[in-house]
């Protein structure tokens, strides 16, 4: 199994640009999470999908952030327009059905730098 | 905001010593999980303890849970340099991670 795949691995962009982060969960998993990690704020839950439906998006910082899961094998996190304070590592994680999210599998993350 | 707080924030020990990390949580739990993160990598699941359990073992790991105090501890026995990483607790009820403990094991 290839695990959770995130792309790009690194992204450097200028303030005001649109950024799209991508995630492919493990095949068969039906829960998908987006987390953001910074030194100051630690790991923050941005959004949680179950069966492709957003269940908890209370962690999405503001309207500049949006996430979609058009099918079970793909999710995107978009920031438009990006700001320097969005610089962080963004992680995607998935978990299998029937286990109440008892084990999350993480991707390698996307290191985002907004200049 | 962080639902779980680990202490200490950083811990430095010698190889062979035991490392104990603590986590407190605010909301109720179905289970509490511990994860490890090597520098620059994604988190890896280590061990899970259910709300009706008090202690769990897995290899050199021992986890305890005190629901009356809303706290958990992770003990790593006979530490190795390869255990150097950050360790996080996770409440699957609110899907939040603690602030983490950065463990350094010196050879």
8 Å CB contact of A93 and B96: no
Kindly report the number of other CB atoms within 10 A of residue A93's CB atom.
28
pLDDT in tens, A29-76: 999 999 999 999 999 999 999 999 999 999 998 899 999 999 999 999
- DSSP bridge pairs for A24: A5
Question: How many angstroms separate the CA of residue B85 from the nearest CA in chain A?
Answer: 15
8 Å CB contact of B90 and A104: yes
Pairing of strands B101-106, B71-76: unpaired
- Percentage of chain B exceeding pLDDT 90: 81
**Residue B88 pLDDT class (50, 70, 90 cuts):** very high
Which is it for the CA torsion B58, B61, B65, B71, positive or negative?
A: negative
SS (H, E, C) A2-45: CCCEEECCEEEECCCCCEEEEEECCCCCCEEEEEEEECCCEEEE
A102 and B CB contact within 8 Å: yes
| Residue in the block written with tokens 């439906």 | A53
In Å, what is the CA distance from A37 to each residue of A27, A70, A89, B35? 25, 25, 5, 14
8 Å CB contact of B92 and A42: no
Name every residue whose Cβ is closer than 8 Å to that of residue B31 and which is 6 or more positions away in sequence.
A100, A102, B48, B49, B50, B51, B92
Task: For A39, name the nearest residue in chain B, comparing CA atoms only.
Answer: B99
| Chain A residues within an 8 Å CB radius of B90 | 104
Q: Is A83:A65 a contact under the CB 8 Å cutoff?
A: no
pLDDT in tens, A10-19: 999 999 999 9
A4 and B CB contact within 8 Å: yes
Higher pLDDT, B34 or A102: B34
**pLDDT at A70 (0 to 100):** 96
């Amino acid at each position: 199994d290839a695990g959770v795949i995130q792309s790009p691995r690194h992204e450097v962009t200028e303030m005001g640009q649109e950024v799209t982060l991508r995630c492919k969960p493990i095949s068969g998993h039906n829960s998908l999470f987006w987390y953001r990690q910074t030194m100051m704020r630690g790991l923050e839950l941005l959004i949680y999908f179950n069966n492709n439906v957003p269940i908890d998006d209370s962690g999405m910082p503001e309207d500049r952030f949006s996430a979609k899961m058009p099918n079970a094998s793909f999710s995107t996190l978009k920031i438009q327009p990006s700001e320097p304070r969005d610089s962080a590592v963004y992680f995607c994680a998935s978990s299998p059905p029937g286990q109440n999210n008892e084990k999350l599998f993480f991707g390698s993350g996307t290191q985002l730098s907004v200049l | 905001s962080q639902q779980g707080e680990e202490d200490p924030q950083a811990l430095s020990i010698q190889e062979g010593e035991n490392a104990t990390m603590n986590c407190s949580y605010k909301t109720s739990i179905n289970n509490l999980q511990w994860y490890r993160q090597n520098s620059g990598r994604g988190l890896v699941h280590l061990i899970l303890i259910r709300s009706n359990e008090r202690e769990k073992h897995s290899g050199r790991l021992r986890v305890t849970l005190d629901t009356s105090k809303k706290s958990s501890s992770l003990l790593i026995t006979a530490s190795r340099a390869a255990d150097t990483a950050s360790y996080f607790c996770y409440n699957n009820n609110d899907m939040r991670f603690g602030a983490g403990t950065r463990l350094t094991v010196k050879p």
